[in-house]
Structure 1
């Protein structure tokens, strides 16, 4: 019994010295030692910190100069991006039939592939947003709309619509200039 109390005090001193704070209350710690395990309805998290001077090297933050560049040097290449969207969507959906689960995953995959291919073009100072919609062709209609707050002289988008016998797909890439 005395060994447990001694071990508990030693652990408490060590935690104080290192600056660790546990989420368990002292009564919970006693329960842990008495029962031998942490109750399943409780979780234990620990936050550690060191309060010793000179332990970390101080590095001043890097200061960047403002560029004051309010417009892009080059326009967003909408026609090239439309070609990328077309190549990706036609390449992946040419032989596919509409299946809801497959198409749900395919929208995510196609969106990531298109975004990666557009980023490979290394268009400076444009944020790229890509969306893909896939649906079944069943004599019904779909309107896809978007609203954006942007500068019409710099920001733009490119879109491509694809159809086969069982499905349609609409891919859109937005290029938003940031200063």
Structure 2
């Protein structure tokens, strides 16, 4: 009997999330998009305002992600806001992670005078 109890206890440890608790990039992309549209519509770009907006957006996105209640996920939120001057901008990232559990979602908001690139990286904590 004691052996059966030990086997049952070891079955409770998971190194992978349940399917219902897995990070879904399409859902998070919608959250990012709606947040950017809601917060940046009517925003007037300046270097100082951009700095404050990046902090505000990253905190807001993080709190909305926590409301999704995905257990054991840790989030990294990266926001880039810059002035539109006609030049091109490329934003990139590299990550070392578990392709089965970890993922990311991103979106871009474009206005006449500025752009905003938002990326959320979700890492499953074993």
TM-score, normalised on structure 1?
0.61
Distance in 2, matches of 1:146 and 1:124, equals 25
- 1:141-163 per-residue CA deviation (whole Å, 9 max, x = no partner) reads 22111121101111100001110
Q: CA deviation at 1:68?
A: 3.6
How many pairs does the alignment contain? Answer: 115
Distance in 2, matches of 1:90 and 1:99, equals 18
- Which structure has the greater CA radius of gyration? 1
User: Paired residue for 1:73, among 10, 15, 18?
Assistant: 18
Q: CA deviation at 1:97?
A: 2.1
User: Paired residue for 1:132, among 64, 79, 83?
Assistant: 79
- 1:103-141 per-residue CA deviation (whole Å, 9 max, x = no partner) reads 111000000000000101111121111111101111112
Match of 2:115 in 1: 168
CA RMSD, Structure 1 to Structure 2 (Å)? 1.4
> Is 1:101 matched with 2:48?
yes
Which structure 2 residues correspond to residues 3-152 of structure 1 after superposition, within 5 A? 67-74=12-19, 75-152=22-99
- 1:62-92 per-residue CA deviation (whole Å, 9 max, x = no partner) reads xxx7754121112212111111111111111
Distance in 1, matches of 2:93 and 2:14, equals 27
Normalized per residue, the structure richer in strand is: 2
Gaps in structure 2 of 5+ consecutive residues: 1-8
Compare relative contact order (CA 8 Å, sep 6+) and give the higher one, 1 or 2. Answer: 2
Match of 1:156 in 2: 103
TM-score, normalised on structure 2?
0.85
